[in-house]
Amino acid sequence: MPTLNVNLGARTYPIHIGPDLLSPSSGIPLSSFVERQVAIVTNEVVAPLYLARLSQPLKEAGILVSEIILPDGESHKNWKSLNHIYDRLLAERCDRTTSIIALGGGVVGDLAGFAAATYQRGVPFIQVPTTLLAQVDSSVGGKTGINHPRGKNMVGAFWQPRLVLADTDTLNTLPDRELSAGLAEVIKYGLIRDLPFLEWLEANMVKLMARDSAALSYAIERSCINKAAVVAGDELETAKQGGRALLNLGHTFGHAIETGMGYGVWLHGEAVAAGTMMAVELSRRLGWLSDANVERVQHLFEQARLPVRGPVLGSLRYLDLMGHDKKVIAGRLRLVLLRQLGNAVTWADASQVEIRAAIDACCE
Amino acid sequence: MPTLNVNLGARTYPIHIGPDLLSPSSGIPLSSFVERQVAIVTNEVVAPLYLARLSQPLKEAGILVSEIILPDGESHKNWKSLNHIYDRLLAERCDRTTSIIALGGGVVGDLAGFAAATYQRGVPFIQVPTTLLAQVDSSVGGKTGINHPRGKNMVGAFWQPRLVLADTDTLNTLPDRELSAGLAEVIKYGLIRDLPFLEWLEANMVKLMARDSAALSYAIERSCINKAAVVAGDELETAKQGGRALLNLGHTFGHAIETGMGYGVWLHGEAVAAGTMMAVELSRRLGWLSDANVERVQHLFEQARLPVRGPVLGSLRYLDLMGHDKKVIAGRLRLVLLRQLGNAVTWADASQVEIRAAIDACCE
């Protein structure tokens, strides 16, 4: 079973990846990582599938377990759900030693993590991601938060987990569309910094789409290793050049799609795939990628059944929505582009005309 | 002009204390500490008095200034005010380089600080406290947050400022009742760890109540030095014994008073004074303080025109409200008591009978 450490000094923590991790016989008894009380935050889709499997061994170990079940979906990643968590934590007298465990996808992880970061000014946090996206993205990096009507993830905090359990068995119940959305972020790691992994993905995408357990474990591990390496060098996303910003390939365009269409209409990974195609197209127009490079990326997304075109919002509307993104630094739109496949850069010198042309070329 | 550093490694910051610090001629030009945009958070009472004085020099230096004016009072330290800040920051396209400046008392500081901790996962924060309480308490420690209907400060974060400007001139417009409330925390530092300062306060309380500028500057400086020493050893309040918890003398009882009466009916400092008398009374009953010690503390609070009795809520109701306080660790009520004047300890071994007797003895 792969285990890797995210090295962040005093906040270093392990990620365990593999099948059957939620079982008490996995050798990772969660009860030994917590004190007398935990609160499991999950949603109404995941709860019937995995909540009992997680909470039963804890209860048997004599630990008080609060189960907080939220509605499903990105549209619920808001103050109302967060406040519901606070209400339950307070009603059940959770204190500063109570661990909050996120059981679910990115929305559950972001909400539960932000609750952990802010409940009584911070309590221990454990992640049990049950989607591919959460296993390869939210498991590493410590980003937590909620959406605001004016923009995605505009309110949040950095808060590192004590432990991540990525049980690949939970992917067996993942809808096809969400598996694909997770693969968008997996492909991203190859594109930004790991050409051999990109080549591995081209050779193994059929296996991944067929949910081959060993292939999925490898893809998750390699994704987490890549992300951990980036995050370790730039924990709080303060690097002026490169650093964590490189993880945002396709995300500034993608956020425009998500916000422009209304939260939850496009899945995050879908928006990232279409947004990445825009970044790739702009990179081609800057002379950094060949037509063949662009086709290669497009083919990989298509194999993963991901959209390679954005919705027709009009490129001016895209620009306006991108201006609200956190990647805007001191008024300049700073994009992540590809110098070549496997080599991303941050770039603030693209003109609005160039950016709009790339967007227009990638909308259907 | 006294300047002291709060030593927190990479998060070390200076506190400047003295008259006329908001003037451009103070030698501390705020414009040199910020980038191209700031958001000043203040309230409707402070804004007409000091907002122009703070914002004018920034505007003249070419800095974009957003002015966010909240309603006054502890009852507004809630999600609604926080969301109003987020709305304005987003509407005015504040980004991750925008500094948030708190101009006002503890409520403004806690709200603005929590907004700074969580807006786009954290932006720079500067404090300009205009009440004695904020100057001696919120200036040091990095605690930020909002109240929840079920408990005070239940949602928040640790977020250190880059700079604190404590302009003693702003105390000239402070209502008498708030000056007294600030003195409750000043007295606390003497009680918990600085007997010579307690003696100085006994000798100088008349000057402080007359708002003697030099006496106030000295009391603020000495309070901040004491608090900084405690905080430096326990930044995130994780010490099992002593540490930051000692700063909570009177606060667990006091929180019960504030919550029981409804936020804002008693000022925080007033509740702390009455709560401290309960802690002092319990310390006497444990044989640690003499009757004369108790009278000495009571006399000092009375000189500062502070309440020395709590409201009659019934001691069972007090206990229930205290059970919701963050100072409850793993189900045990951990109180701060005095082994002797100038020497506080955390104590989890008082029985409910003893605690209730002390409360009953201190309610009118």
Is the pLDDT assigned to residue A326 strictly greater than 80? no
Residues B79 and B206 in one domain: no
* Residue of A95, A117, A158 lying closest to B328 (CB–CB): A95
Tell me the per-residue pLDDT of B278-303, one tens digit each, with 9 for 90 and over: 999 999 999 999 999 999 999 999 99
The CA-atom distances, in angstroms, between A20 and each of A16, A41, A54, A220, B168 are 11, 20, 11, 15, 63
Distance CA B196, CA A68 (A): 51
Residues B127 and B194 in one domain: no
Residues A193 and A127 in one domain: no
Q: Specify the residue for token string 């990445």.
A: A276
The pLDDT assigned to B96 comes to 93
Print burial letters for A17-46: b (CB count within 10 Å at least 16), e (below 16). Answer: bbbebbeeebebebeeebeebbbbbbbebb
Distance CA B264, CA B250 (A): 17
* Residue of B157, B328, B330 lying closest to A157 (CB–CB): B157
Chain B: residue whose CA lies nearest to A155: B119
The pLDDT assigned to A151 comes to 82
Answer yes or no: do A330 and B97 touch at CB < 8 A. yes
Length of chain A, in residues: 364
The pLDDT assigned to B355 comes to 94
Contact between A242 and A278 (Cβ < 8 Å): no
Ranges assigned E (strand) in chain B: 3-6, 13-18, 37-43, 64-70, 99-104, 125-129, 143-148, 151-158, 163-167, 328-329, 332-333, 335-340, 343-347
Answer yes or no: do B154 and A79 touch at CB < 8 A. no
Distance CA B54, CA B22 (A): 6
Phi, psi of B130, deg, nearest 5: -115, 10
Number of H helices, E strands in chain B: 12, 13
As a whole number, mean pLDDT of residues A192-214 equals 96
* Residue of B95, B148, B324 lying closest to A328 (CB–CB): B95
User: In Å, how far is A324's CA from the nearest CA of chain B?
Assistant: 7
Mutate to test the interface with A, among B38, B82, B121, B162 (most CBs of A within 10 A): B121
Contact between B109 and B129 (Cβ < 8 Å): yes
Assign A335 to helix, strand or coil: strand
The pLDDT assigned to A25 comes to 76
Residues B138 and B253 in one domain: no
Contact between A301 and A308 (Cβ < 8 Å): yes
The pLDDT assigned to B327 comes to 55
Q: Which CATH number belongs to the domain containing residue B126 in this structure? A: 3.40.50.1970
A interface toward B at CB cutoff 8 Å? 35-36, 79, 83, 86-87, 90-91, 93, 95-97, 117-122, 143, 145, 148, 150-151, 153-158, 236-237, 323-324, 326, 328-331
Domain of residue A300 covers 176-361
Residues B209 and B118 in one domain: no
The domain boundary residue, chosen from A173, A200, A225: A173
Confidence at A122, pLDDT banded by 50, 70, 90: very high
Tell me the per-residue pLDDT of B309-360, one tens digit each, with 9 for 90 and over: 999 999 999 999 997 555 555 556 889 999 999 999 999 999 889 999 999 9
Residues B140 and B282 in one domain: no
Residues B343 and B301 in one domain: yes
Is the pLDDT assigned to residue B27 strictly greater than 80? no
Is the pLDDT assigned to residue B100 strictly greater than 90? yes
As a whole number, mean pLDDT of residues A329-337 equals 76
Q: Which CATH number belongs to the domain containing residue B249 in this structure? A: 1.20.1090.10
Contact between B100 and B116 (Cβ < 8 Å): yes
Residues B293 and B349 in one domain: yes
Q: Return the structure tokens found at A333.
A: 């739109």
Tell me the per-residue pLDDT of A158-195, one tens digit each, with 9 for 90 and over: 999 999 999 999 999 999 999 999 999 999 999 999 99
Residues A187 and A133 in one domain: no
User: In Å, how far is A151's CA from the nearest CA of chain B?
Assistant: 8
The pLDDT assigned to A31 comes to 84
Residues B168 and B180 in one domain: no
Contact between A1 and A17 (Cβ < 8 Å): yes
Residues B222 and B84 in one domain: no
The domain boundary residue, chosen from A122, A154, A173: A173
Answer yes or no: do B122 and A330 touch at CB < 8 A. no
The domain boundary residue, chosen from A149, A173, A197: A173
Contacts of A36 in chain B (CB under 8 A): 330-331
Chain A: residue whose CA lies nearest to B92: A324
Residues A193 and A161 in one domain: no
Assign B185 to helix, strand or coil: helix
Q: Specify the residue for token string 């910051």.
A: B13
Query: Domains in chain B: how many in total?
Result: 2
Mutate to test the interface with B, among A38, A92, A98, A121 (most CBs of B within 10 A): A121
